[in-house]
Amino acid sequence: MLKHQLIHPQINEILGRAGHHSIILIADGNYPASTKKGPNAQVISLNLSPGIVTCSQVLEVILSAIPIDAVNTMGIPADDPYAQEGAPPVWEDYRRILKDASASLKLEPIQKWDFYEAVASDDHVLTVQTADQSLWANILLSVGCRQA
């Protein structure tokens, strides 16, 4: 019986094969998951209904299962109307989740087009497509090393 919160068999299988520096994308409901992915990535669709499930919920569960070295959000281009509003509220939720998981990681934004390029990496192993309706909720995780 698994002790962590992640019970999805396909996601557990992919994470079990992933190694240090593998990349996991937790995609919001607007992300083009079928076309913006790495050549080795599998897409798991958890988008049941608008808002079910969210990127925050997936982040919380994945953090219970594997070590993470880096957390990147999709940075907002300066010419985007949302850029004038500051950081999206969901980013504060991510900070809380990281803190609650005792992860001493900072959210590091990657500009939108660079984010897509990072996702296209050979190291991209998994996209979890959510139905999150939050704007700018995409989050990229880099798998860390197990310490014990």
> Are 109 and 73 a contacting pair, CB within 8 Å?
yes
What is the predicted pLDDT for the residue at 3?
A: 74
For the record, the structure tokens of 136 come out as 């700018």
Residue 1 lies in a domain: no
Residue 94 lies in a domain: yes
What is the predicted pLDDT for the residue at 82?
A: 83
Question: 119: domain CATH number?
Answer: 3.40.1650.10
d(CA 102, CA 60): 11
Residue 2 lies in a domain: no
Residue 125 lies in a domain: yes
Among 48, 54, 44, 5, which Cα is nearest to 24's?
44
d(CA 133, CA 53): 10
d(CA 127, CA 137): 13
Q: How many domains does the chain have?
A: 1
Residue 148 lies in a domain: no
**Could you give phi then psi for residue 140, rounded to 5 degrees?**
-115, 125
Considering the entire predicted model, what is its pTM?
0.95
User: Which domain does 79 fall in, by range?
Assistant: 9-143
Residue 4 lies in a domain: no
Residue 3 lies in a domain: no
CA distances 47 to 14, 55, 68, Å, are 19, 10, 24
Taking the chain (148 residues) in runs of 10, the rounded mean pLDDT of each run is: 84 94 97 96 96 97 96 93 86 97 93 96 98 96 86
What is the predicted pLDDT for the residue at 26?
A: 98
What is the predicted pLDDT for the residue at 71?
A: 98
